[in-house]
Amino acid sequence: MSEIIFEAKEEGGKMSDKDRIAELEEALSGMLFQFAYDSNNGKVPTLHSGGLSALGIAFTAMRWTDPYPIPESKCQTKGCPKRISCGISTPDGYKQLCGNCYGKESNKQEEK
Ligand SMILES: [Zn+2]
């Protein structure tokens, strides 16, 4: 067990500063996607700090605006600006939808 930890430290020691920064940015970005507040600007979903200082510092460190638009996470229902939270198979193929649209699609399929 201790050998595994030692190897991991060795690997970390050989990492360039550029790779280390990329790793930290990936970790910080992932944490923001998980813990920042969801909202939308009427067009696309956004993440925002909600005024929490720790999240605000993370947004600043990532050079993200607050709120930060995440168009890649937009619900696939036309005109819906909310964030994807689940997926469902539909007659038109697999769709990634927000919770509200998922419920509507799920009810539509149960009626058939
Ligand atoms: Zn939706």
**What local confidence, expressed as pLDDT, does residue 11 receive?**
55
Question: Rounded to two decimals, what is the model's pTM?
Answer: 0.78
Distance 74 CA to ligand 1 centre (A): 8
Distance of alpha carbon 8 from the chain centroid? 27
Distance 56 CA to ligand 1 centre (A): 27
**What local confidence, expressed as pLDDT, does residue 111 receive?**
85
> What's the chain's length in residues?
112
Helices (H), strands (E): how many in the chain?
4, 5
Contact yes or no for 59/66 (Cβ under 8 A): yes
Distance 31 CA to ligand 1 centre (A): 23
Distance 77 CA to ligand 1 centre (A): 5
Distance 83 CA to ligand 1 centre (A): 7
- Type of residue at 25: E
Q: What angle, rounded to 10 degrees, do the helices at 53-61 and 17-35 form?
A: 140
**What local confidence, expressed as pLDDT, does residue 1 receive?**
42
Residue in 112, 62, 58, 64 with CA at minimum distance from that of residue 90: 112
What are 36-58's pLDDT values in tens digits? 999 999 999 999 999 999 999 99
**What local confidence, expressed as pLDDT, does residue 15 receive?**
83
